[in-house]
Amino acid sequence: MRRPAWNPVAEAASFRSNAETLTASPTEMISEDEARMQVVQTVVALPSRQVPLSQALDYFAAQDYFARLPLPPFDNSAMDGYAVIASSCKKHGRLRVIGEQPAGPDRKLRVSEGEALRIFTGAPIPQGADAIVMQEDVTPEGTDVSVDVNVESGEFLRQRGCDLAAGQMILTRGERIRAATMALLASQGFADVMVGGQPTAAVISTGDELVKSGEDLQPGQIYDSNSVLLSALLRQCGVSDISVEHSRDDRQSLHGAIKRGMKSHILIISGGVSVGEHDLVKDALLELEAKIEIWRVAVKPGKPFLFGQFESEGADSAGETPTAPIGKMPLLRQCFVFGLPGNPVSAFVTFLQFVRPAILRMMGATNLDLRQVPAKLAAGLTNDGDRPHYIRGRLEDGEFTPVGRQESHALFGLSQANGLLRLAVGQSLKANEIVDVQMWD
Ligand code: AMP
Ligand code: MG
C-alpha cells in the first residue's frame, strides 16, 4: 500500500522494478525546470501535527485559521488619561473625576456630562464616554481636572474590531509561521497550532581528501566545508534534526553511511556524484536499491546533481502519524536522496534550486520559491555557455554586483554574495538593466 498523499508522477516511476532501474537508470541530462518540477512532484508532504504555539516558529500552517475574536476585543483607551464625553468638554473647562478604570476587569463605570474618569492604556471605555483626553492635556485641580485642549469624539479610543473582524482569515494553510503570526494566534487564544511535518535529514560528505575542521591537515587534504554549509542551509529551511557523517571514497564506507542516512526523510550526499572513477555515489545508491530519478541537470554550477528515493517498510523515521494502522499492513518509510556536487558553490546552488523546494514541500509550504528582488545590474553579463548560469553577487542599495570568481570552487566569493542572478543560455544583459535577483538570506 502506498501513502495516501503519494502523487501520480512518483507512482508511475515507482512501478519500475529495481532491476530495470539498475540497467535503465536515467542518464539523460535534463533541464533545470524539469528537474525542479520532478523533485517537487515526487516528494510527499509529511503528515501534519499539532504543536504548542510557542514551538511553531518557522513551521508551515497545516490549515487555514480564522479570527475567533475581533481585535481589539472591546473598545479601549489608547492613552493614559481621562475618559470623557467630548461634547461636554470645553477648552479650559473643568470636569469632576469620578473614579478610575485601569487595564483589567471592567468596573462597569459610567461617565456623565461634566465628568471624567481616570483611565489607562488598554482599559475598557466606561459607558457614556466617547473620547479620551491624554493626561498631558489636562491640569489637575484638586478632585477636578481642567482640560487644556479641544476634544473630539472618538479621540484616543480604540474601537472593538478596528484592527481585525471575527471570522477574518488570519493564517493561510501553507504559510510560514513567523513571530508576528504567533503573536496574532496567541491574541486569539490559540494554545496549539496544526503545522506541517518536520523532516529529519542526514548529510554525508564524501571524499578521501576531507578532514574535519579542528584537525590537522596533511598535504593534499582540505577541510570539509560542505557538511557545515548543508547543515546550515537545512537549518535555514526549518530542519533541525540533522545527522552528519563523512564517507571515504570507497564502496564499503559509502554503503555504511548511506544505510544509516536512509533512515532520515532526506539524505544529502555531497561529492562523488560525477563521472570520475572515484565518484561512487550513484552506483552505491543503485546497489542499495535506490530509485534514481534524476542524474545530471543542465545548470551551472551544479551539473552532476542526482535525485532518487528509497522506499522501505518500517515505521516512519520521525515517529509521525503512520501511513497505515499499526498491525494491519506494513508501513512505508520514504527517504529522498539528493546527490550534490562536491564543489561548494555547486552544492550551494543546487541545494537552493532543488533541495530547498523539496524540503519546503515536505513541510507543507505553499511558496517554494526564493524571494525575488528587482535590482539594477552593475555590469554587463553574457552567458555564452550551454547551461543556464547562476551568477553570485551582492545586492546592495538596489544594485546587483557580481562578486568573486564565478567558479564552482570559489567559496570566498560566495561568502560575500547575498543573491543569485540567473542568466539563461545565450542571454546578454547590459549594465543598468533591471533584473530579478534571488535572495537567500
Ligand atoms: P567531487 O564532486 O567529489 O568530484 O568534488 C569536487 C570538488 O569539490 C573537489 O575539489 C573536492 O575536493 C571538493 N569537495 C568535495 N567535497 C567537499 C567538501 N565536503 N567540502 C569542501 N570541498 C569539497
Ligand atoms: Mg570527491
Residue matched to cell numbers 551568477: 391
Residue 22, pLDDT score: 41
* Residue 242, amino acid: I
Residue 313, pLDDT score: 61
Residue 27, pLDDT score: 60
The residues, ordered by sequence, that sit 6+ positions from 291 with a Cβ below 8 Å of its Cβ are 13, 14, 16, 18, 21, 308, 309, 310, 311
Identify which ligand lies nearest to the alpha carbon of 346: 1
Helices marked H in 363-401:
none
Residue 311, pLDDT score: 84
Do residues 234 and 201 make contact, with C-beta atoms less than 8 angstroms apart?
A: yes
DSSP classification of residue 301: S
* CA 19 / ligand 1 centre spacing (Å): 30
Instruction: Check if 249 has its Cβ closer than 6 Å to any atom of ligand 1.
Output: no
Instruction: Check if 271 has its Cβ closer than 6 Å to any atom of ligand 1.
Output: yes
For residues 242 and 234, what is the distance between their CA atoms, to the nearest angstrom?
8
Helices marked H in 155-265:
179-187, 226-237, 251-261
Instruction: Check if 261 has its Cβ closer than 6 Å to any atom of ligand 1.
Output: no
Pocket test for ligand 1, best of 225, 275, 343 (most atoms within 8 A of CB): 343
pTM (predicted TM-score): 0.87
* CA 280 / ligand 2 centre spacing (Å): 9
Instruction: Check if 207 has its Cβ closer than 6 Å to any atom of ligand 1.
Output: yes
DSSP classification of residue 218: P
- Residues in the chain predicted with pLDDT less than 70, given as ranges, are 1-27, 312-332
DSSP classification of residue 122: T
Q: Which three cell numbers stand for residue 300?
A: 551551472
Pocket test for ligand 1, best of 208, 226, 346 (most atoms within 8 A of CB): 226
For residues 341 and 419, what is the distance between their CA atoms, to the nearest angstrom?
20
DSSP classification of residue 121: T
Residue 18, pLDDT score: 38
For residues 108 and 115, what is the distance between their CA atoms, to the nearest angstrom?
15
Q: Which three cell numbers stand for residue 36?
A: 525542479
For residues 137 and 140, what is the distance between their CA atoms, to the nearest angstrom?
10
Identify which ligand lies nearest to the alpha carbon of 207: 2
* CA 288 / ligand 1 centre spacing (Å): 23
Residue 322, pLDDT score: 39
Instruction: Check if 205 has its Cβ closer than 6 Å to any atom of ligand 1.
Output: yes
Residue 164 pairs in a beta bridge with 71
Q: Which three cell numbers stand for residue 84?
A: 470623557
Three-state SS at 303: coil
Instruction: Check if 302 has its Cβ closer than 6 Å to any atom of ligand 1.
Output: no
Three-state SS at 286: helix
For residue 126, CA distances in Å to 122, 139, 159 come to 12, 21, 13
Residue 19, pLDDT score: 36
Instruction: Check if 229 has its Cβ closer than 6 Å to any atom of ligand 1.
Output: no
Instruction: Check if 350 has its Cβ closer than 6 Å to any atom of ligand 1.
Output: no
* CA 271 / ligand 1 centre spacing (Å): 5
Closest CA to 146 of 223, 224, 216, 82: 82
Residue 28, pLDDT score: 86
Angle at 209 between CA 206 and CA 215, to 5 degrees: 100
Instruction: Check if 72 has its Cβ closer than 6 Å to any atom of ligand 1.
Output: no
The DSSP line for 99-114 is: EEE-SSS----B--TT
* CA 334 / ligand 1 centre spacing (Å): 27
* CA 51 / ligand 2 centre spacing (Å): 41
* Residue 399, amino acid: E
Do residues 185 and 50 make contact, with C-beta atoms less than 8 angstroms apart?
A: no
Pocket test for ligand 1, best of 208, 210, 295 (most atoms within 8 A of CB): 210
